[in-house]
Amino acid sequence: MSTETPAVRVTDLTVAYGELPVLWDIDMDVPAGKLMAIMGPNGAGKTTLIKAILGLVPPAAGRVEIHGGLYRDQRHLVGYVPQRGSVDWDFPTTVLDVVMMGRYGALGWFKRPGKRERDQALTALDKVGMADFRARQISQLSGGQQQRVFLARALVQDAQVYFMDEPFQGVDARTELAIVDLLKELRTLGRTVIVVHHDLQTVRDYFDWITLLNVRRIAGGPVDEVFTSENLKLAYGGRVEFLQRQAPCDPPPDAPDLGSYPGRIRP
Amino acid sequence: MSIPHLEILAIAVVTAAGCSLVGVFLMLRRMAMLSDAISHAILPGIVVAFFFTHDLASPWLMIAAVLTGLLTVVLVETLTRTRRLKEDAAMGLIFPALFSLGIVLITRYAGDIHLDVDAVLLGELAFAPFDRFVVGGADLGPRHLWVMGGVTLLNLLAVTVFFKELKLATFDAGLAASLGLAPAAIHYGLMALVSVTAVGAFDAVGLILVVALMVGPAAAAYLLTDRLGLLLVLAALLGAVAAGLGFALALWLDASIAGGIAVGVGLVFLVVFLVAPGRGFVAVVLRRRRQRWDFAQVMLAIHLIQHEGGPDEDDESRVEHLHGKHVGWTPAFTARVVGGAEKRGLVELDAGRLRLTDPGREAAGRALSGTGS
């Protein structure tokens, strides 16, 4: 694997807001074809890491390579799904139009989307089960539907590496499983998918690679090796109410709040 | 209508359309008040450029104003980035400072010239026909019409050519940046357009009207459509209508034309706000009322289904029972709900007893299973 070019290579990345370091000297290699979770407590810098890789926040130091090249040269290989809450859902546009936005990068400046882009968008909407909603104004969607639309928009980008910021935030279980199936399908096609994730319970089912983050990189690698109680303790600090051998469908009797992640982490 | 009147009307309509186009994007970016800030803050730029050129028609005034407009945006963003104060407060600090600097400069050094404070604030549309655009002795019409025609054309060109880029940068700047579509450049380009529009419009129609024309028509059009392209067209049209309406109003009342047009913008917004299909006030009130009756009818059906086949069915299904101590409706309300439910075929009335029909049972079932009625 060391001979293969990683899909994402981050070297000595430091990001600071003013004097306050948000990410300290991050080194991270993500091999191609992995489905990776970025995990860590609130304020660990998960979103900032993605944004710094994508050049949306300026790093104080460090280097990012996508498939062996600098990000600005490899932009076309990268797909991005921001947090659902980062956009104004009252914006005057339709579902189909939002999905077509995923093609804007490939279209380049000035060129308008046409029939080809429309067909691509419809195919992607069909894939996420939202084809019937194509003409809807986007404010009329539920949270899960909004997330599916964002996913469809990422699909039409036809990228090699996807960055997704909390795609499971506020979606119901059915949508979550549908999204996971799609992500696994992307992996089967050899794409790399990097997901900011919160739910410790589902890591083993969803992901094969993980980076644990808490301002510094705590650990990273295959889930089987890295997703251990010691590493979780290092990342989250204190006692992590999670037993590695526990199957997700077999919760401990003393954990009442399994519907959402905070119940499982006690500082 | 006389020729000068037509010329004034043409200036007003063209200015309104040009302001509305950039106003749409300001509104969608939640920056409507930036029109206020920029249009005021460009004043010192204009004054300083005037000192150098001594010519109100000089293109340097335009350039200086655009630079001052961009400076305003940069200053507001810098102040906001310190996280010591919010953007609205930063705006409230920056633009009065710059504007008053312009006022001080005018009153101290330019008291005897055309640039006076009233004209800056309220415009002097009535005099616009006297200011001619003359090339080689030939009178080509009012200068303001040419200026605003050019500015509006520029805005039209910009929102057409950069439609997709403006849309993405406004809706999702993060994606725009990751796709390499330079949302920051788009942002400052838009701010430059706002500045150009403001400086072109201010000495024709005044600063107050610039703000009204950038915000009002865009806000009204937003209530009428879900499509950005149509929103732009509607905003320009509504702006033009408001300008025409306001001009007629001013003629009729023999009042300030800029004032009349500002009132026209307010009237157009008010009418759209009231009668816009789907989102207007009237439509919302009607929908709420209908939903209230629908809900009450479904409630009735659920009440009946709960007691259906039970020992108290006979008692619970009496109409009088509904306005008795159990359900607690007034007799008049009950009568309307029962009447409506009957008409919809949800219930049948049989000797003072209500009986659910099959559609009624279905409606109650749907409501109880949470899929709506």
Do B249 and B161 reside in the same domain of the chain?
yes
pLDDT in tens, B284-340: 999 998 888 888 888 888 888 888 777 777 777 777 777 766 677 788 888 888 888
Do B198 and B308 reside in the same domain of the chain?
no
Number of domains in chain B: 2
pLDDT surpassing 70 at residue A217: yes
What type of residue sits at position A84? R
pLDDT surpassing 60 at residue A246: no
Top-confidence residue, B196 or A244? B196
Of B275, B292, B309, which one is at a domain's C-terminal end?
B275
In CATH, what number is assigned to the domain containing residue B359? 1.10.10.10
Of B253, B275, B297, which one is at a domain's C-terminal end?
B275
Three-state DSSP state, A161: strand
Q: Which position has the token pair 């139009």?
A: A97
Of A67, A139, A131, A58, the closest CA to residue A99 belongs to: A131
What confidence score (pLDDT) does residue A101 get? Answer: 94
Chain centre distance of CA B247: 20
- Is any Cβ of chain A less than 8 angstroms from the Cβ of B167? yes
> Does residue B13 sit within a domain?
yes
Cα–Cα distance for residue pair A174/A188, rounded to 1 Å: 21
Of B171, B87, B167, B81, the closest CA to residue A86 belongs to: B171
> Does residue A125 sit within a domain?
no
Number of domains in chain A: 1
pLDDT surpassing 90 at residue B241: yes
Residues paired with B358 in a beta bridge = none
Query: What single string gives the DSSP state of each residue in A167-207?
Result: TTTT--HHHHHHHHHHHHHHHHTT-EEEEE---GGGHHHH-
Do B122 and B76 reside in the same domain of the chain?
yes
Do B49 and B133 reside in the same domain of the chain?
yes
Interface contact A94-B178, CB threshold 8 A: no
Say if strands A69-70 and A20-30 run parallel, antiparallel, or are unpaired.
Answer: unpaired
- Local confidence band at A241 (pLDDT 50, 70, 90 cut-offs): low
> Does residue A188 sit within a domain?
yes
> Does residue A103 sit within a domain?
no
Least confident range from A29-33, B10-14, B99-103, B349-353: namely B349-353
pLDDT in tens, B32-71: 888 888 888 888 888 888 888 887 777 888 889 889 999 9
For chain B, what is the radius of gyration of the CA atoms? Answer: 29
In CATH, what number is assigned to the domain containing residue B89? 1.10.3470.10
Query: What single string gives the DSSP state of each residue in B4-72?
Result: HHHHHHHHHHHHHHHHHHHHHHHHHTT-HHHHHHHHHHTHHHHHHHHHHH--TT-HHHHHHHHHHHHHH
Do B96 and B225 reside in the same domain of the chain?
yes
CA distance B341 to chain A (A): 29
Do B129 and B239 reside in the same domain of the chain?
yes
What confidence score (pLDDT) does residue B202 get? Answer: 80
- Local confidence band at A265 (pLDDT 50, 70, 90 cut-offs): very low
Query: What single string gives the DSSP state of each residue in B80-112?
Result: HHTTSS-HHHHHHHHHHHHHHHHHHHHHHH-TT
- Is any Cβ of chain A less than 8 angstroms from the Cβ of B185? no
> Does residue A100 sit within a domain?
no
Least confident range from A83-92, A227-236, B112-121, B313-322: namely B112-121
Three-state DSSP state, B257: helix
pLDDT surpassing 60 at residue A266: no
Of A196, A221, A191, the closest CA to residue A208 belongs to: A221
What confidence score (pLDDT) does residue B243 get? Answer: 95
> Does residue A133 sit within a domain?
no
Do B17 and B136 reside in the same domain of the chain?
yes
- Local confidence band at A267 (pLDDT 50, 70, 90 cut-offs): very low
> Does residue B373 sit within a domain?
no
Of A85, A25, A101, the closest CA to residue A61 belongs to: A25
Q: Say what percent of chain A tops pLDDT 90.
A: 54
SS3 of chain A: helix, strand, coil, percent, to 5: 40, 25, 35
Do B310 and B343 reside in the same domain of the chain?
yes
Domain of residue A222 covers 8-85+160-266
Top-confidence residue, B153 or B338? B153
Selecting from B161, B162, B222 the residue whose C-beta is nearest the C-beta of A92 gives B222
Cα–Cα distance for residue pair A197/A201, rounded to 1 Å: 11
Selecting from B28, B174, B181 the residue whose C-beta is nearest the C-beta of A91 gives B28
ipTM of the complex: 0.83
- Local confidence band at B84 (pLDDT 50, 70, 90 cut-offs): confident
> Does residue A90 sit within a domain?
no
pLDDT surpassing 80 at residue B10: yes
Interface contact B175-A80, CB threshold 8 A: yes
Q: Which position has the token pair 């090339």?
A: B135
- Is any Cβ of chain B less than 8 angstroms from the Cβ of A42? no
Write out chain A residues lying below 8 Å of B172, CB-based.
82, 86-87, 101
- Local confidence band at B363 (pLDDT 50, 70, 90 cut-offs): confident
Suggest the residue from A93, A94, A133 to mutate for an interface test with chain B (most B CBs closer than 10 A).
Answer: A93
Cα–Cα distance for residue pair B216/A221, rounded to 1 Å: 56
What confidence score (pLDDT) does residue B163 get? Answer: 95
Are the beta carbons of A62 and A19 closer than 8 angstroms?
no
Rounded mean pLDDT, A89-104 = 94
What confidence score (pLDDT) does residue B113 get? Answer: 61
Note the helical H segments in B82-206. 87-109, 117-122, 143-161, 163-171, 173-178, 183-205
Nearby residues of A222 by Cβ (< 8 Å), 6 or more positions away = A208, A209, A210
Suggest the residue from A20, A77, A97 to mutate for an interface test with chain B (most B CBs closer than 10 A).
Answer: A97
Do B243 and B322 reside in the same domain of the chain?
no
Three-state DSSP state, A94: strand
> Does residue A220 sit within a domain?
yes
Of A115, A140, A135, the closest CA to residue A125 belongs to: A135
DSSP state of A86: G
Interface contact B181-A112, CB threshold 8 A: no
Domain of residue B317 covers 282-368
> Does residue A63 sit within a domain?
yes
What confidence score (pLDDT) does residue A3 get? Answer: 58
pLDDT in tens, A137-168: 999 898 889 999 999 999 999 899 999 999 99
Do B264 and B298 reside in the same domain of the chain?
no
Top-confidence residue, B352 or B148? B148
- Local confidence band at B349 (pLDDT 50, 70, 90 cut-offs): confident
How far are the Cα atoms of A93, B94, B112 from residue B117, in angstroms, in the given order?
A: 42, 19, 12
Are the beta carbons of A144 and A152 closer than 8 angstroms?
no
Phi-psi region of B141 (alpha: psi -120 to 50; beta: other; left: phi over 0): left
- Up-side HSE of residue A208: CA atoms within 13 Å toward CB? 12
> Does residue B314 sit within a domain?
yes
- Is any Cβ of chain B less than 8 angstroms from the Cβ of A78? yes
Rounded mean pLDDT, A110-138 = 92
In CATH, what number is assigned to the domain containing residue A12? 3.40.50.300
Q: Is B319 exposed, middle or buried (0-12, 13-18, 19+ CB in 10 A)?
A: middle
Least confident range from A14-23, A166-175, A227-236, A243-252: namely A243-252
Of B251, B275, B299, which one is at a domain's C-terminal end?
B275
Selecting from A80, A112, A137 the residue whose C-beta is nearest the C-beta of B178 gives A80
> Does residue B127 sit within a domain?
yes
Do B337 and B243 reside in the same domain of the chain?
no
Cα–Cα distance for residue pair A31/B317, rounded to 1 Å: 69
Write out chain A residues lying below 8 Å of B170, CB-based.
91
